[in-house]
Amino acid sequence: MHPEALTEAAARVAARLDALAGCTDTPGEITRLFLSPAHRRSLALLKAWMTEARLATRLDASGTLVATRAGADAEWPTLLLGSHIDTVRDAGKYDGCLGIVLAIEAAAALGGEALPYGLQIRAFGDEEGVRFPVTLTTAHATAGTFDRTWLDVRDEAGVTLRQALSDFGLDSDQADACAAAGAAAYLEVHIEQGPVLEHAGAPLGIVTAIAAAARFVVQVNGRAGHAGTVPMDRRQDALAAACAMILALRNIARDAGDVVATTGSIAVEPGAPNTIPALCRFTIDLRAPQDAALAAAEAGVRRALAGVAEAERVTLDISRTHAAPATACATQLQSLLAGAVAACGLPAPALGSGAGHDGMAIAGLCPIGMLFVRCAGGVSHSPAERVAQEDIAVALQALLHALRAFRPDIMRDA
Ligand code: GLV
Ligand code: MN
Ligand code: MN
């Protein structure tokens, strides 16, 4: 791309990310949950930009917006590009959106240029797993691994996923019937969400693998009582027990070294200042670069929580709501992306991803590859998330190199 055109394209990407940031369920911040009104508004923007880029769009039954490049031979294998349009609460504007908007910009830049494969962009709907206690459902639908039992899970307001899909105008019964056909490979551009590239002084990096992850909802059942009358040694305080559990799991992760454990959400019932908590429900997000380390940490957490429950005379229910093994990026796609970054005259450091991505589900369908883009201070899942416009420009340039170099047959032995 001509340098001026590249600068213009990067500015357009930045402006589109600003426009998407305006699609929020909570004014004053960026919170765009799966199948919410803000999700619907963001899809209208994406659809308009996809159409402008001469892509044919449709919304599949799971909530993924699919845009297909015209003119590809129907028999040709397809290269999928994608990322997610949903956000965490009070998010930044790059996580997920950057990959979709860049892919649209790349398709527009290619115009009618001949490529020996089909190209499709997928805007997934629930990579974050914030609204429902399941996650990656839309990417699993693309991979053909959507689990119908997920339709019965409920959000905080008691709305089932089935109902939410149907309120969005989708046929929830078809959510397990929208696997992508003929997918040769999947590529995703995403912000790094960590500090490695910034420390290396490199705007782009090649992902080697995505860490294993599991999520749990823990319910601690104690006994309600009067805050002024029940002696301290006779209490079964669900919240006090949960606090000890949360600190125990943090220590397990610290001691393990390569494990991270987070409790990001907690609810207490009945929730009155003068009533001893009868119930506490909290989440655990556990990750490790290797499956074995994650399994060992999970076993340690279960033992520790059971020990605290016994000591505090409360009972415990632990349900696992998400599990994804460590996912390797295909070596052929790592090489393709490294060549593309080198063609931009840049170093191409390789790095692992501690964050989860749609590719973890798509890996069940086809080989995956990921290109990371440096973000300021490594900050993400925060309104302070920032990516320099010059880095957006080189990411677009590298993606275009990769798209022009990709040949489905490089994936034959993947
Ligand atoms: C998504 O950002 C995740 O890693 O949970
Ligand atoms: Mn993301
Ligand atoms: Mn995220």
Name the token pair of 296. Answer: 């060992």
**Would you state the pLDDT for residue 71?**
76
Domains of the chain in sequence order: 3-211+326-411 (3.40.630.10), 212-324 (3.30.70.360)
Indicate whether 413 pLDDT > 90: no
With a 6 Å cutoff on the Cβ, whether 237 touches ligand 1 is no
Neighbours of ion ligand 2 (CB under 5 A): 95-96
By most ligand atoms within 8 Å of CB, the mutation choice from 128, 192, 375 for ligand 1 is 128
Which helix H or strand E contains 301, and what residues bound it? helix 291-312
Quote the ligand 1 centre to 54 CA distance (angstroms). 31
Residues 305-332 have a mean pLDDT of 97
Q: Which tens digits make up the pLDDT trace of 50-61?
A: 999 999 999 999
Query: For 377-391, what is each residue's pLDDT tens digit?
Result: 999 999 999 999 999
Task: Quick: pLDDT tens for 215-229.
Answer: 999 999 999 999 999
Tens-digit pLDDT profile for residues 74-109? 778 999 999 999 999 999 999 999 999 999 999 999
Looking from the CA of residue 193, the nearest atom of ligand 1 is 2
Atom of ligand 1 nearest to the CA of 96: 2
* Whole-number pLDDT of residue 76: 86
Assess whether pLDDT exceeds 90 at residue 209.
yes
403 pLDDT more than 70: yes
pLDDT of residue 243: 98
